[in-house]
Chain A
Amino acid sequence: MIQVNQLSKIYNGTTVLNIKYLEIPKGQSFGLVGNNGAGKTTFFSLLLDLIQPSTGNIKSNNIEVNTSENWKSFTGSFLDESFLIGYLTPEEYFYFIGDLRHQNKADIDALLAQYEEFFNGEILNNKKYLRDLSKGNQKKVGIIATLIGNPEVVILDEPFANLDPTTVSRLKKIIKELAQNPNVTVLVSSHDLQHTVEVCDRIVALNKGEIVKDIQTSEETLQELESFFAV
């Protein structure tokens, strides 16, 4: 589904990301782990054509993301709060995204009903604009909005950060369900090794922009990663 070739990003002579080759097959749930500044967000930004690669390219479903815009129709993503429109209520935001993805109001309502438990009664019908919601609740809105319109690629940057323990476990359930769908490729980045190991089939560890580990998840994965990141 996603192919990365000779990809690098250089800022003022410093290489922040350098990936020779990486292939993520369709239907895989892919976890990206690493310390701050390892290049996780840079990689996702390149994948979403928000920044330009210094060399190489990324192909999503055989579409080169920085030359064509056609990947937008099957990609849902949430990187940070700048993906939210602060002056809308959560409902209006969902309908807005739905309009752009050619979903009618009934489709959206059906989708929202599915995730009522995840929202925990704090999102819908609360008479609050998105800008006045807490960080955690904003994140809930952003994550569910990526699922509108049955995307084939779902990209979530640090989805577990800022969430309360109950919501984290509900989110893990949602990501696992997504991962079971053979048509959906899920990409998740995190600092939290345990959460990532739990929800992903495959884990890639980045360090200073380079891939240092690429493992299929198994019983020993968590230990292996923990010993790698321990100093």
Chain B
Amino acid sequence: MIRKFIYLEWKAFTRSASFGANLAMKILIGFLMIYFSVIFIAMGVGTFYLLKEMNFEPLSTVNRFLIYYFLFDLVIRLLMQAIPVLNIKPLLVLPFNKNTIVHFSLGKTALSFFNWVHALFFVPFAIVLIIEGYDIIGIAFWLLAIFSLIYINNFLNIILSNIDKLFVVFIAIALALGAAQYYKLFDITVFTSPFFQGLYSKKGFFLIPVLILIALYQFTFKYFKNNLFLDAGLSKKEDIATTENLVWLNQFGTLGTFLKNDIKLIRRNKRSKTTLIMSFFFLFYGLIFFGNTHQPPIMHIFAGIFVSGGFLFVFGQFVPSWDSSYYQLMMTQNIPYRGYITSKWWLVVIATFISTILASFYLLYGWEIYLTIVVGAIYNIGVNSHLVLLGGAFTKTPIDLSNAGGAFGDKKAFNVSAMLLTLPKLLLPLGLYGIGLYLGNKNLGLALVAGAGVLGFIFRNSVFSLIEKRYKIEKYSTINAYKQKS
């Protein structure tokens, strides 16, 4: 029976949409995967020596922060890891044993990317520890315990995923604990690090997470099995709908009609809500660069563009795919393409504007830093907003609005033309700013970038005409692509 399952899984894997992409795409994805794997492994190896160099005891330092590691892992899982429920339905009426179905679908989650990616860090780290003379048995048990904890998160996610907005609670807990520790009010790690350290130093301690994991698996198994009915665990959740009229937008005419629709789109679908949250995280991107002397100053403009451009990058790059499920409707209605594109443009501009205001906490780093962000916003509004819309004409990936996965950039959404358009989004401002720095004047660099933005804004009518023409040319192939459900 298991062989039949594996056969189905293999077919599902090889025939998935992302696998069917063209050769260049496969090479690129492969390349990215290798790249990130190498980075993770390098981190695993490097962490030990880096901490040693900074005069920390590596293992206990890592153990100290593991609590945060697992909290964030859970948050990311709740946000992104999908539960394989849908493909169970056709199996129910076939002569499969229910136990086998549940064991298999739970076992399948064990192989998920969200689990094995941790191995890339922890396994090299453990090997380095052994090489450096740590007790080999202690480390082996420690590693076993860590993996039990990772799988505990895996099954927790399955049980908790039915509860909406839970990740917000965990983010809040993590932030609160982090802040409390930073301001020396309360240090959670005082309580947790002896536990993690004990997994290594105290024999038999590792059994605790292993036993918890076994119990949790039993629980999840029972939970799943009891809910294996169409009207229970396998049912689609229906939302209670509320009619919103958003009358105040009527004064903007056709533009208002579309904006109304876009606001509803964002608020009522899982995928777009995730996107909105992601774009919020972009606000903090600058923290990596500002006030960090290790980063070259040219990277400041990079950060400036990302801080205000979160929404532009994660939402804008999928215009018009957000409307993919009803694109045929749009194409038969009395809609001027211009109005449609303009409304998306305004949405991006408004979001960029709000982000810029929210980013005003960067004023703590000084006026110059915030000025960089404002300049980045001007460039985003003037140039990047047009570029993402233009890129949208080539992005022909249908979006399944109800599915939260893939918000980090759909693999299929990459294509050569769209990728070429991302280059000027970042490289051009980087170059302009670089020229300013080269001439020894930072403000000149900022002025050049802002100037490019203003120029883009002035010529926006002719740019819109160009975009409109492009959308019309791509119309039929876009409709065709959106008909193919992933």
What residues make up the interface of A, taking CB atoms closer than 8 Å to B? 48-52, 72-73, 75, 77, 79-80, 82-89, 91-92, 95-97, 99-102, 126-129, 131-132, 149
* B241 adjacent to A83 (CB under 8 Å): no
* B329 adjacent to A85 (CB under 8 Å): yes
Q: Please, how many angstroms separate the alpha-carbon atoms of A79 and B328 in the complex? A: 9
Q: Please, how many angstroms separate the alpha-carbon atoms of A127 and B480 in the complex? A: 33
* A49 adjacent to B329 (CB under 8 Å): no
- Judge if B326 is at the interface, Cβ distance under 8 Å: yes
- Judge if B131 is at the interface, Cβ distance under 8 Å: no
How would you classify the secondary structure of chain A's contact residues: helix, strand, loop or mixed?
loop
- Judge if B335 is at the interface, Cβ distance under 8 Å: yes
Q: Which of B38-46, B94-102, B261-269 contacts A (4 or more CB under 8 A)?
A: B261-269
Closest residue of A by beta carbon distance from B476: A52
* B240 adjacent to A100 (CB under 8 Å): no
* A50 adjacent to B332 (CB under 8 Å): yes
Which residues of the other chain, B, contact A85 by a CB distance below 8 angstroms? 261, 325-326, 329
Contact A73 to B334, CB < 8 A, known contacts A85-B326, A86-B401: yes
Contact A75 to B332, CB < 8 A, known contacts A52-B476, A128-B238, A132-B238: yes
* B333 adjacent to A82 (CB under 8 Å): no
Q: Please, how many angstroms separate the alpha-carbon atoms of A132 and B480 in the complex? A: 25
* A88 adjacent to B264 (CB under 8 Å): yes
Task: Say how far B184's CB is from chain A's closest CB, in angstroms.
Answer: 47
Cβ-defined partner of B325 (8 Å) among A50, A72, A86, A132:
A86
- Judge if B208 is at the interface, Cβ distance under 8 Å: no
Which residues of the other chain, A, contact B241 by a CB distance below 8 angstroms? 89, 126-129, 132
- Judge if B486 is at the interface, Cβ distance under 8 Å: no
- Judge if B327 is at the interface, Cβ distance under 8 Å: yes
* B327 adjacent to A82 (CB under 8 Å): yes
Which residues of the other chain, B, contact A102 by a CB distance below 8 angstroms? 334
Which residues of the other chain, B, contact A79 by a CB distance below 8 angstroms? 328
Which residues of the other chain, A, contact B239 by a CB distance below 8 angstroms? 129, 132
Contact A50 to B479, CB < 8 A, known contacts A85-B326, A96-B261: yes
Closest 3 pairs between A and B when the two form their complex, measured CB to CB = A99-B257, A87-B268, A83-B329
* A92 adjacent to B243 (CB under 8 Å): yes
* A92 adjacent to B264 (CB under 8 Å): yes
Closest residue of A by beta carbon distance from B485: A82
Which residues of the other chain, A, contact B292 by a CB distance below 8 angstroms? none
Q: Please, how many angstroms separate the alpha-carbon atoms of A129 and B401 in the complex? A: 13
Q: Please, how many angstroms separate the alpha-carbon atoms of A48 and B183 in the complex? A: 64
Which residues of the other chain, B, contact A49 by a CB distance below 8 angstroms? 331-332
Contact A96 to B257, CB < 8 A, known contacts A87-B268, A127-B240, A132-B238: yes
Closest residue of B by beta carbon distance from A105: B245
